[in-house]
Structure 1
């Protein structure tokens, strides 16, 4: 129990790391939340800081979901407990200890968690994400599509040994709904035709 608690704390701490805010202050001397969409995640970092630093934030946010789950797995934590540690990392990103319990929408960190737990599913989700961005130029729409596909694909695609399929389905469904909920303002803008399109710099 103590081991699980320690990894849960580690996952929340790592998830809470506000990479976009830190990198923005380091390289430009600005808080990216004061610009663009006001979000601390990779998409806004790309818009405000440029491609180089946007990609840097994306990779860092993915890793803070991937690493805690990988370390917990290496320490012998399995099943639903391993999945929950990943969820803690995602919650940390969205309710960051360092940002007065505010944060990003959890897409990149969720990608990191599920990339470790269900890599084949995530490859399809990422492919769908890229396709939607390429055809529509809407990052938010691609994130919503990916979140909706995630639980559906867990029903029939291969998953990591030791991961219970019903459990990962329920968790992926809840996380998919959480990500979609975090995009509720984007959904409104998409419906109104006022959502910002992704522009390659």
Structure 2
């Protein structure tokens, strides 16, 4: 029994390390750099999908979204291949989210982790995730002018997930764990935004309409969405 517990602990630690390293891959930073933009001095200064979408290009933002979702999904799959189950797999997904928050490859800077959280959720509860994410997306559209629209979408998404899980009695261990992870992500998101507001950094990914001018004042230079204006300039 002791030997089996030791092996399980080794697998868990390995899955946490792999999950963290996967989450740490800074796709937003790399994609923005490829376009000549330093994402950490642009927009809301976060290496996330929204910042890339609004301040680099929409196409690049969609690609970053897919890559960040894949990070969470792959972390879960690898944990499952290690014969980990239930809440232990969620811990591996949580490690991927933590890696996205504090990437070892970017001086422990990162994004909000929402896309990575969705990847974890899609892989763990594929029967419930599409409907929940769909409802969350509708919520984002309804709250489009709110600076917290993404947080509202995630909150509603996982409220629906919890409700469906309870109604159908479907994998409640996973549903409870994912809901807890979502609460951590939401709390982190709110705290980051408050810190940005306190330091005078406006969350520049928050716009009322898609066709707004996306100029960003960064010491005399301008960055505009390449789909809407001149190409973004390189910032070093």
In which range does the TM-score fall when normalised by the shorter chain? 0.7 to 0.9
For the pair 1:23 / 2:23, whether they are aligned, the reply is: no
* Local SS of the residue matching 1:119: coil
Counterparts of 1:28-39 in structure 2 under 5 Å?
A: 28-39=35-46
Counterparts of 1:28-67 in structure 2 under 5 Å?
A: 28-67=35-74
Deviations 1:32-52 (A, max 9, x none): 121112111011101122111
Structure 2 gap ranges (5+): 1-8, 198-203, 212-226, 228-236
Counterparts of 1:2-151 in structure 2 under 5 Å?
A: 2-26=10-34, 28-138=35-145, 141-151=148-158
* Local SS of the residue matching 2:139: helix
Structure whose residues are more often helix by fraction: 1
Distance 2:145 2:139 in 1: 7
Distance 2:158 2:69 in 1: 19
Shift of 1:121: 3.1
Given that residues 147 and 175 in structure 1 are in contact (C-alpha distance below 8 angstroms), is that contact kept between their aligned partners in structure 2?
A: no
Deviations 1:55-112 (A, max 9, x none): 1110110000001101221332112111111111111111111222221111000000
- Distance 1:95-1:198 versus aligned 2 partners, 3 A rule: farther
- Distance 1:138-1:84 versus aligned 2 partners, 3 A rule: farther
Where does structure 1 differ by over 4 angstroms across 4 or more consecutive aligned residues? none
- Distance 1:2-1:16 versus aligned 2 partners, 3 A rule: same
Given that residues 165 and 171 in structure 2 are in contact (C-alpha distance below 8 angstroms), is that contact kept between their aligned partners in structure 1?
A: no
Q: How many pairs are equivalent?
A: 191
Deviations 1:148-181 (A, max 9, x none): 234433444359xxx8514531x33332222222
In our comparison, the structure showing a higher alpha carbon Rg is: 2
Distance 1:10 1:133 in 2: 32
Shift of 1:144: 1.8
* Local SS of the residue matching 1:157: helix
Given that residues 132 and 158 in structure 2 are in contact (C-alpha distance below 8 angstroms), is that contact kept between their aligned partners in structure 1?
A: no
Cα RMSD (Å) of the superposition? 2.7
